[in-house]
């Protein structure tokens, strides 16, 4: 099994007592070791390998979010367009086909609205 050791020429990769590559920086040695073992170099690369793609929100989830925004907007006395703009900011498209019926918002809707308010207050 290959190992990384430090020599007077820099870092090197050895296997069974023989030098495979020599005179590298520490980072170069780890990247070369990665090539030899075909493994990711860093923890972030490992996370990228195993991270599952995020599924797009369903129509039901978007409707729940929109209804929660309408409820919050009505309770706070905001204009009718507030919920529309918040929806566009969250999902990146207009709420076409979404009903404007208010419904008690979930914790995730409250959390999103509060995070946006905090971010605006810090500007």
pLDDT tens, residue order, the chain (123 aa): 667 667 777 776 677 666 666 777 767 777 776 666 655 555 565 566 566 677 889 999 999 999 999 999 999 999 989 999 999 999 999 999 999 999 999 999 999 999 999 998 988
With beta carbons less than 8 A apart as the criterion, state whether 22 and 34 touch.
no
**Domain limits at 44?**
3-50
With beta carbons less than 8 A apart as the criterion, state whether 22 and 9 touch.
yes
- What's the predicted TM-score (pTM) here? 0.58
With beta carbons less than 8 A apart as the criterion, state whether 38 and 50 touch.
no
- Closest to 49 (Cα-Cα) out of 65, 38, 60, 59: 38
Indicate whether 79 and 33 sit together in one domain.
no
Indicate whether 41 and 75 sit together in one domain.
no
Give the count of domains, the chain: 2
Indicate whether 7 and 29 sit together in one domain.
yes
Indicate whether 67 and 39 sit together in one domain.
no
Indicate whether 40 and 77 sit together in one domain.
no
| Domain C-terminal end among 30, 50, 70 | 50
Indicate whether 17 and 37 sit together in one domain.
yes
């Amino acid at each position: 099994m290959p190992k990384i050791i430090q020599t007077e020429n820099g870092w090197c990769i050895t296997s069974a007592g023989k030098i495979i590559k020599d005179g590298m920086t520490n980072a170069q040695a780890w990247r070369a070791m990665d090539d030899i073992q075909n493994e990711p170099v860093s923890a972030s690369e490992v996370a990228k390998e195993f991270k599952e793609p995020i599924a797009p929100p369903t129509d039901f989830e978007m409707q729940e979010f929109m209804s929660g925004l309408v409820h919050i907007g009505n309770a706070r006395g905001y204009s009718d367009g507030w919920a529309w703009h918040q929806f566009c900011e969250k999902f990146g498209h207009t709420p076409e086909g979404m009903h404007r019926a208010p419904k008690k918002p979930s914790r995730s809707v409250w959390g999103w609205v509060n995070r946006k308010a905090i971010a605006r207050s810090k500007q």
